[in-house]
Each structure stands twice: as structure tokens, then as C-alpha cells.
Structure 1
Amino acid sequence: MTRAGRPDRAEVVDMLAAFGQRAADTVPDELGSLELTWLIAEFEQRYGIEVDLDDERFAAVRTVDDATGLLREALLASTSPGAAQP
């Protein structure tokens, strides 16, 4: 797990590699909706937070970099003062 509360691209790629049991260097940059759904569930389990996405935001995530940014935002939001804790 990346310290300072920020998953990086390498960690996201590693999580995606586990989906389909493949090598990290074979993970494509483009994400399908099934891969994204799995990634979010894996992230939620790993970090113990819930990612709340509307359909528009979900549809906007197309690449590994998009997903990395989304997950960083979710983690930062969960640790912000006033954020609901699970």
C-alpha cells in the first residue's frame, strides 16, 4: 500500500493485474466497465472506505490514470475533516 494515503499508478496496475491473474506489464491502459467495477471493489476492501460514484463520474473513468486519480480523490475525501467514517 502506498503511504501518505495516495495509491499510485503502479499500485492500481498491480490491483488490475490480479483481475484475470495476469502480469502487471500486460494490463492495458484502457479500462472496461467490469475491470473498473472490480478495481473499485478491491480498492474499497483494501482501504476500508466506500467510493461513492454517480453514473456520470463512473463513465468518465476510461484509463488507468483516470482510475488512479479517482481513487486518490476518494481516499483524500475519506480522510478530510468532516468526512463520514465507516
Structure 2
Amino acid sequence: MTLPLAACREEVLAILVEIGYRTPDSARERIDSLELARLLYELERRYGVQLALDDDELLAMSTLTGAAEVLQRVRERGRTGDPG
């Protein structure tokens, strides 16, 4: 079952809050490169997978909404280390 985009966005924000990069009421949409690196690490650690994201997916993850969309697609595909 696919999580709604809003739930994925909340999960991304919750991870950024938990690792100390954001406050819960942060309205900033942009994710900087350090946040993105840590977010990817946390997603891989939490789900026990190695994400195989292409350049377009990584670029999309530069915003909270984009990261939520990518997370949603990755969950739908169940994609881990498989690039294709």
C-alpha cells in the first residue's frame, strides 16, 4: 500500500528534525546537500536497503516535496540496490 504524499513529506521532515537539521515548525522547502546526504543515510539505515537513485531522483530530493515524491516512488517499486 502506498503512503499518501503528505505522509511521506511528514516522514522526511521528521527525519530532518530528528537528526537535528530542522525544527518541527520549519517552513523551509529546500534541502541542502548536507541534509540530503544525511537523509539518504537515514533512509537506508531505517529501511535496511541501499537506495539506487538516478540523477533526476537525487535532484528532485533538493526539496521536501521532491524528497517525499521520491520516497513514495521508491516504496512503490520496492527498489533497493537494483538500478533498473
Q: TM-score, normalised by structure 2?
A: 0.72
Tell me the residue number matched to 2:18.
18
Quick check: 1:16–1:35 contact (8 Å CA) kept in 2? yes
Q: 1:10 to 1:57 in 2, by over 3 A?
A: closer
Using CA pairs under 8 Å that are at least 6 residues apart, name the structure with larger relative contact order, 1 or 2: 2
Identity %: 31
CA distance in 2, matches of 1:21, 1:61: 15
CA distance in 1, matches of 2:46, 2:34: 18
Q: How does 1:28-67 map to 2 (within 5 A)?
A: 28-67=28-67
Quick check: 1:13–1:27 contact (8 Å CA) kept in 2? no
| Structure 2 stretches lacking a partner, 5+ long | none
* Cα shift readout 1:44-63 (whole Å, capped 9, x = no counterpart): 11112221123443133221
Number of equivalenced pairs: 78
| Structure 1 stretches lacking a partner, 5+ long | none
Quick check: 2:32–2:62 contact (8 Å CA) kept in 1? yes
Q: TM-score, normalised by structure 1?
A: 0.70
How far the C-alpha of 1:13 sits from its partner, in A, is: 0.5
